[in-house]
Structure 1
């Protein structure tokens, strides 16, 4: 298990490598990136992420532990970025290695859904038109 929270750019390949093992037949990686438009269609110029570091790390570890309890053969890595991010930059990476793809997909989905609902990480959207930036609510589930 590997979890992280920091301002350095995220490299999905590094997390994918952390969950590989000789018993893995599948590695599933989910990369969340800053997109150009908000959910309501407004042009976005960037995103700012803040976290209560100690609580967020504790929750990321708990999420990874829960995933391992549900899918014991899975290896889990979760990393979230904080600070100001540009369009296209990775804000979150979840990687899961497992003997079979079904468990890897299920565990990866569980981790990102739990992270979005529970982790003490907040995001603030900045708009291209110069309008006031807006803090966004955490999601309980979004597909």
Structure 2
């Protein structure tokens, strides 16, 4: 049997790096959360809409934090599954989602999709699935 030439190991490393970067960037929206809490606390009893603005800033901060945190975790899971050569559909969907996350995501997503569509790589995932089910 011939050796399958693929770049899944390289993509695994790249997805780990991107996942760590996303997780680090997920800390930034916490600044919005703190700023909103301070704004709400200072203007809680005033008659203007600054307290409402503080609540909105906190909601935006929480939403951005959760979105980036979940995206970072899913990107790290993609790296894990690439290394194990399982969950082909999950990796494919995450490659498409990564195409929506900036230039690094576009490059990684396109090359991951191109790599996953190779017949030899597809066979690796099918072979791994059969071994798990037996």
TM-score under structure 2 length normalisation: 0.28
Greater relative CO, 1 or 2 (CA 8 Å, sep 6+) = 1
Q: When you count strand as a share of all residues, which structure comes out higher? A: 1
State the TM-score, normalized to the length of structure 1: 0.26
Larger radius of gyration: 2
